[in-house]
Chain A
């Protein structure tokens, strides 16, 4: 199939490579052409040009504004994609933006799925991402064979925007768990107890979690090089808190965690791993 890919960062690049390995023909557009590197793909001058030659287009980019610009802006995908083609947006953006972009594309008969992913860079490389999809079920079924190249767990959550809501929920739970692990490690250390042993002991019990495994390990080793750059979680928490506000739903824990992330950004650790939340606790 002819596939388009926009966003060749740490997540997008391995995802695009999986598509290539599965025998699909790739077209790409990149704001920074140097990010294309040696990727075997046709290089397009604009998103519209890319849209014209592809049946399905994937976007994996950072912000709501970027997705809106690439999809609906001047020479955007909307200007090029044919009726019946599908935009699969794997970025993490605001649910409202996802709904808005989907509605605008629908006016031209273009389908859209919001399909944010969880699993990080390793999940993208191993093709074990969790994919949470919002949009029409038939459209998801059409592109499911493609998504199978990227991930193991693909769930149709609901209509457009529902995938982004699920991702927001994922981020709330995950980063709160990182903060909980950091606080536990800090308390253990301050009490003169070996963090590594505490983590090991907890791994078998009710507090066991993937976050405690992966991030807890990093905290014990004091290896704060990113895994997932904390600035992305910080960005996502902006989305979470804005969504909570729009729904007038109180999220006291997420709000508190968001402030720890703000402190992390203030320390200039945005490009480090989110396990750096431990280092924020050590500041006080």
Chain B
């Protein structure tokens, strides 16, 4: 398939590379031209702007930072005048913003699919991302062969915005999950009990989770290298909290968790992995 790919950061670069490996004809564009170089070497064609990345293609994919960036590149995509094109955004943005962008593109005859991912840089390189998509059946069907090059667990959740709602739900579970494991470990340590042994014991029971297993191990190793930076988790939880505010939805646990991540950003832990919330707990309780 002929695919345009916009945004070649930590996530976008390996995702685009996997599309090339999958035999697709890929045109790339990135704001910083030097980040296009590795893709050009791998056989991609370079575009001068988002419109050019869309022109003549069946599918165009964006992987950028935030909602205003998505809106801007999609305005460029729309200006290419490729009616019948399917545009896919794989960034994490607010569901309301995704629905708005979808409506704007529909007016230009372009079908939009929001398809945020989970799995981080490791998943992007390995092509094992979880992809949660919102949009029409036809749009999803067009994008599916591309998704299959980038991810493993690919779910068409619902209509426009449903992918972003799913991603936000994912961030609620992972945000609170990381905090829960960190609190359990801080609790064990303050009681003079070995947190490593606690983890081992818990892994066999109902408290088992991937987060207890993987993030928990990294907490024990005190390996706070990202992974998933805590400022990004804060950004995602802010999407959750803003949406809850707009809808009139009571989310006390997410609100408390969002404030912990807010405190991490304010106290210099923003660039560390979100498991560094353990350090914040230790500071608060004089365990550091």
Quick one: which of A238, A248, A251, A258 has the most chain B CB within 10 A?
Answer: A248
Produce 1/0 per residue, A154-188, CB < 8 A to B. Answer: 00000000000000000000000000000000000
A28–chain B nearest beta-carbon distance, Å:
31
Mask, A115-152, CB within 8 Å of B = 1, is: 00000000000000000000000000000000000000
B259 at the interface (CB under 8 A from A): yes
Residue A23, interface by CB 8 Å: no
Give the chain B neighbours of A211 by CB distance below 8 A: none
B250 contacts A252, C-beta separation under 8 Å: no
Instruction: Give residues of chain A (235-254) contacting chain B, Cβ–Cβ below 8 Å.
Output: 237-238, 241, 244-245, 247-252
Contact B249 A245 (CB under 8 A): no
Smallest distance from the beta carbon of B284 to chain A beta carbons, Å? 10
- Given the known interface contacts A250-B260, A252-B256, A259-B255, the answer about A241 and B248 at a Cβ–Cβ threshold of 8 Å is no
- Which of B245, B262, B270 is A262 in contact with, Cβ under 8 Å? B245
Query: Interface extent on B, as a size class?
Result: 20 to 34
Report whether A250 and B266 are in contact in the complex, using a CB–CB cutoff of 8 Å: yes
**A41 beta carbon closer than 8 Å to chain B:** no
Q: How many residues of A contact B (CB 8 A)?
A: 22
B192 interface contact, C-beta 8 A: no
Quick check: is A265 within 8 A (CB to CB) of the other chain? yes
Q: Which residues of A contact B234 (CB under 8 A)?
A: 245
Known contacts A249-B266, A255-B255, A258-B255; decide if A266 and B241 are in contact (CB<8 Å): no
B210-256 with Cβ < 8 A to chain A: 234, 238, 241-242, 244-245, 247-252, 255-256
Shortest CB distance B281–A (Å) = 12
> What's the count of A-B pairs with C-beta under 8 Å?
61
Whether the pair B265, A256 counts as a contact (CB closer than 8 A) is no
A62 located at the interface, meaning its Cβ lies under 8 Å from any Cβ of chain B in the complex: no
Question: In this complex, what residue of B is CB-closest to A248?
Answer: B266
- How far is B36's CA from A240's CA once the two chains are assembled, in angstroms? 41
Say whether B262 contacts A248, CB under 8 Å.
yes
A16 and B260 alpha carbons, distance in the complex (Å):
44
Taking a contact as CB atoms closer than 8 A, the residue among B245, B252, B263, B270 that contacts A250 in the complex is: B263
Residues on B with beta carbons closer than 8 Å to the beta carbon of A232 = none
Beyond A248-B263, A252-B259, 15 extra complex contacts between A and B, CB < 8 Å: A244-B262, A245-B234, A247-B266, A248-B266, A250-B259, A250-B263, A255-B258, A255-B259, A256-B256, A258-B255, A262-B245, A262-B248, A262-B250, A264-B248, A266-B248
